[in-house]
Amino acid sequence: MIEVTKEILKKIYPKRPKVGKKYDYGLLVIIGGSEFYSGSPALAALAAFRSGVDMVRIVAPKRAADIIASFTPDLAAYPLKGDWLTKEHLATLLGMTEGAKAVARGKTAVVIGGGMGRSEETQQTILDFLTELSVPCIIDADAIYAIAEKPEIISGKPFLITPHGYEFFILTKKEVTGKSDTERIKIVQEEAQRLQTTILLKGGVDIISDGKEVALNKTGVSLMTVGGTGDTLAGIAGAILARGINPFEAGQAAAYINGLAGERAGKQLGESVIATDLIEKISEVLK
């Protein structure tokens, strides 16, 4: 059993050489958003930038993409026609992902799921995309509901699934809410092994398992129940995955960074903390 500490950061963030090239530290593609939900991809992108990724490309339905692009010049958002993801977008998603892989010399990852919605067509398009995807991926939020319908598509791929307790139940049909940490650890490890994937179960103690090993992260604070902190976690994990780090270690580092940033934001702001406050604390955690 591994307890995650700040030592994980030394492995993820070694001292940079004096000379580097763009995309040495990754290009992250974030797919998410819908007519109503535009914040999720933006929060993930901002957290990814603060976590050291070189570039983020957001792909979202037009209204969401337009809103996201207006937040800050740091964010590049590609608008998809319509108000939500449909099957007509599949070729675009795959093309943009393969293009990112080529330009970044393989230092690429995808985050998918935040704010996408659960319409039948959107869920099927997520499944079709993940079936053909050839780069590492963070599967979060609504994308977890999609893979629950066909979990075999994730088997053996370099994916990291980031459910909270109820999403874990949707994915596995196993209840973890209200159980002891010992029981939760056993269930997460068994399900990661069964699904042949890596799972980061979010909670008071985050449990990360690739089915072989288990790691526990104890950073975090109850104020992080506020909306958006799961999006920041996904963005941090995506940034680390884009560096070429394996999903198990990426999950550990992301949980540690997100939790400690939340602690520091909570200490300063108490009940007033929001997800963007957490993002601003990532730089302190990485110093």
pLDDT band at 19 (very low <50, low <70, confident <90, very high): very high
Domain extent at residue 63: 2-286
- CATH classification at residue 55: 3.40.1190.20
Mean pLDDT within 64-87: 96
Give the total number of structural domains in the chain.
1
Mean pLDDT within 14-24: 94
Instruction: In whole angstroms, give the CA distance from residue 32 to residue 146.
Output: 13
Mean pLDDT within 193-222: 98
Q: According to the model, what pLDDT value does residue 74 have?
A: 96
Instruction: In whole angstroms, give the CA distance from residue 185 to residue 214.
Output: 8
> Which amino acid is residue 104, in one-letter code?
A
pLDDT band at 40 (very low <50, low <70, confident <90, very high): very high
Mean pLDDT of the chain: 97
The H or E element that residue 238 is part of is helix 229-242
| b/e 42-68 (16+ beta carbons within 10 angstroms → b) | bbbbbbbbbbbbbbbbbbbbbbbbebb
